[in-house]
Amino acid sequence: MEEIVVADIGGTHARFSIATVDQGRVRSLDEPLILDVVDHDTLESAWAHFRQVSGRTLPRRAALAVAAPVQGEVLTMANNPWIIVRADLPRQLSVDNPLLLNDFEAVAHAVAHLDHDSQPYLCGPDRPLPSEGTILTIGPGTGLGTASIIRNRGETLVRGAEGGHIGFSPSDDFEDRLLNRLRALHGRVSAERLISGPAIIPICDLIAEDRGEMSRKLNDRQLWTMALEGHDQIATQGMTRFCQLLGSFAGDMALAHGATGVVIAGGLGKRLMEILPHSDFFPRFIAKGRFESLMRKIPVRMIHYPEPGLFGAASALACQMARE
């Protein structure tokens, strides 16, 4: 048994924990410390806060899941002002050769290692994720993450990606107008602009305009709370539209990757766990013209685990340590 430090650094929160690993498996994961990114100028500052709260010397083996591409020496996150310089981490954090991986690559590691009971049914065939082929993990949160699990003859390979930054593809007149409005603001419009937590704001603004009402002038957290509680028609309609957008994107990504399974994750995915199965997610997921019959064969599940990013980061490092 060996202890390791694990971190999951997103656009809004940074999570830290200590895991116990053995023989390539995660045996335990301590209760995480969750910090707001805005309260710390740097990763080093947040790490020091975790060390202080833990009241102990931290293990020197560490895995960090970050909301950024992990190629190169300098990591810049799209929704977080922290800059991570790979070569500086051993000195700044007092760790030895830390494992860096994309945050949704970490979630995909969690999907690969968690049991069937932690992946409830969403739509499609109600069967476990396949033992062969490509399983796509998609997660809306502060941004829109994607990663793939490739299973081939008993071997499992996990790869992070930046699928949330592909161009947005509208499916109807409302989405055409939404795209045009965002294009006027941003130029190029990525899928993440419409399929992430903050996306509820422009969606609700256009719904309000179509109804001849004033914009709610609320932040995304307030709008999501109102939508999930069902207290506001515009917010609820915004959530309905969001589920449709997520279904279209998930289906497009499944086609592009030749996926044999799809898992919906992410902070917002967790909040929508009771909503998505009864929404228009599935009709939009399968609405791929001549390929609808193929789409109906793809099992789509969700992930139900308290901290999949931390568990996945720990699983990735556990596997690496077992090979050393």
What is the residue extent of each domain of the chain? 2-103+306-323, 164-302
Nearest alpha carbon to residue 6 among 109, 141, 149? 109
pLDDT for residue 68? 84
R_g of the chain, CA atoms, integer Å:
20
Distance CA 276, CA 280 (A): 8
Distance CA 104, CA 107 (A): 5
Please name the residue ranges forming H helices in 15-67: 43-54
Nearest alpha carbon to residue 134 among 156, 162, 110, 109? 156
List all residues 6 or more positions away from 31 whose beta carbon is below 8 Å from its beta carbon. Answer: 17
State the DSSP code for 71.
-
pLDDT in tens, 205-240: 999 999 999 888 899 999 999 999 998 999 999 999
Q: How far, in Å, are 17, 118, 234, 311 from residue 111 at the CA level?
A: 19, 9, 34, 10
Distance CA 96, CA 311 (A): 20
Is pLDDT of 163 > 80? yes
Class of the CATH domain delimited by 164-302 = alpha beta
* CB burial of residue 300 (10 Å; 0-12, 13-18, 19+): buried
- Stated as kind and residue range, the H or E segment containing 313 is helix 308-323
Distance CA 272, CA 304 (A): 11
* Residue the block writes with tokens 């399929």: 195
- Phi first, then psi, for residue 167 (nearest 5°) are -65, 140
* Cβ atoms of residues 253 and 264 within 8 Å: no
Which residues are paired to 28 by β-bridges?
20
pLDDT in tens, 98-108: 999 998 899 99
Distance CA 234, CA 323 (A): 53
Mean pLDDT for 12-39 is 95
* Cβ atoms of residues 33 and 46 within 8 Å: no
pLDDT for residue 77? 81
Nearest alpha carbon to residue 305 among 118, 57, 168? 118
Q: What pTM was computed for the model?
A: 0.89
Class of the CATH domain delimited by 2-103+306-323 = alpha beta
Confidence of residue 21 (pLDDT cuts 50, 70, 90): very high
- Stated as kind and residue range, the H or E segment containing 103 is helix 103-113
What six digits make up the tokens of 321?
A: 């340590």
Residue 228, number of CB atoms within 10 A of its CB: 15
List all residues 6 or more positions away from 212 whose beta carbon is below 8 Å from its beta carbon. Answer: none
Confidence of residue 121 (pLDDT cuts 50, 70, 90): very high
Is pLDDT of 78 > 80? no
Lowest pLDDT segment from 71-80, 161-170, 171-180: 71-80
Helix (H, G, I), strand (E, B) or coil at 279: coil
